[in-house]
């Protein structure tokens, strides 16, 4: 059985305590031996305590699954978009391993089983054209974490008899960015006019935890193996100076 190893990356922008921030999350999965990658079937990312989606101002509308399936990302209200990113997968093709990247969009979904829910929409074109949609939920995580994003990833078949698509790299911004491909805006009505604005984003706690902001991710693979990865976002420099 192959062993899977995972690395987790996280950062904030801007790094101002008590203020809204965009969270950048990413992971990289490698296998030993390298050609024996097993498909990722579930990922759960635990966020630092005292950071809440409900106060983020993200996901003010919900995206309906039937519209997302029928019209892709254009089927969702703009105020349902919560983040964007890129996923890279390895696909076995004629004895070779080919990498394919897919654009990722995360939308707010109607509450499922009492939990804030998300749809993760992937838009891939070549060599495998697919638009998989997978459900995710915001769940509670034990201290020192607060909330977790738990996503079930569907198996994407390739050629008959060949292994399924295996996600090996993932990067996303939770919230909007000032510019670039991850930038997006929301709209609100002001005196009858539709006005664009940047959604708030997750609010950083007013104090930095000892040792920084902890993140953890648990990965489950098709071959039933599990990998765990942790990372810490250091406290902003301004805070360290203040505490001395």
d(CA 106, CA 88): 16
> Of these, 3, 13, 16, 52, which contacts other proteins (CB under 8 A)?
52
d(CA 86, CA 4): 21
CB of 136 within 8 A of CB of 153?
no
Minimum distance, C-beta of residue 71 to other proteins, in the bound complex (Å) = 19
Q: Which residue has the tokens 């749809």?
A: 119
> Of these, 204, 217, 229, 233, which contacts other proteins (CB under 8 A)?
204
**Which residues does 121 contact at the CB level (< 8 Å), separation at least 6?**
68, 72, 73, 76, 104, 105, 106, 107, 131, 132, 133
Residue 50: which region, alpha, beta or left (left: phi > 0; alpha: psi -120 to 50)?
Answer: left
> Of these, 6, 10, 39, 51, which contacts other proteins (CB under 8 A)?
51
> Of these, 38, 62, 168, 176, which contacts other proteins (CB under 8 A)?
62
**Site for other proteins contains 201 (CB under 8 A):** no
> Of these, 16, 115, 169, 171, which contacts other proteins (CB under 8 A)?
115
Minimum distance, C-beta of residue 38 to other proteins, in the bound complex (Å) = 29
d(CA 122, CA 107): 11
Among residue numbers 31 through 50, which ones bind other proteins (CB under 8 A)? 49-50
**Site for other proteins contains 55 (CB under 8 A):** yes
Minimum distance, C-beta of residue 108 to other proteins, in the bound complex (Å) = 6
């Amino acid at each position: 059985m192959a062993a899977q190893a995972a690395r987790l990356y996280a950062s904030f922008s801007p790094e101002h305590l008590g203020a809204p921030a965009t969270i950048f999350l990413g992971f990289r999965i490698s296998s030993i031996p390298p050609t024996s990658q097993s498909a990722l079937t579930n990922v759960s990312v635990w966020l630092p305590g005292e950071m809440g989606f409900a106060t983020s101002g993200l996901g003010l509308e919900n995206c309906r699954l039937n519209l997302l399936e029928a019209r892709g990302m254009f089927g969702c209200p703009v105020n349902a978009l919560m983040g964007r990113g890129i996923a890279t997968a390895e696909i076995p093709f004629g004895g070779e391993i080919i990498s394919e990247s897919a654009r990722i969009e995360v939308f707010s979904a109607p509450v499922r089983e009492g939990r804030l829910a998300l749809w993760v929409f992937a838009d891939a074109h070549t060599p495998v054209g697919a638009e998989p949609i997978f459900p995710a939920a915001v769940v509670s995580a034990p201290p020192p974490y607060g909330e977790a994003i738990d996503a079930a990833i569907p198996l994407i078949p390739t050629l008959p008899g060949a292994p399924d698509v295996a996600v090996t790299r993932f990067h996303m911004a939770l919230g909007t960015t000032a510019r670039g491909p991850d930038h997006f805006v929301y709209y609100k009505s002001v005196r009858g006019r539709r006005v664009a604005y940047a959604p708030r984003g997750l609010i950083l706690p007013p104090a930095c935890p000892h040792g920084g902001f902890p993140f953890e991710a648990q990965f489950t693979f098709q071959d039933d193996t599990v990998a765990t990865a942790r990372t810490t976002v250091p406290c902003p420099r301004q805070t360290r100076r203040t505490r001395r």
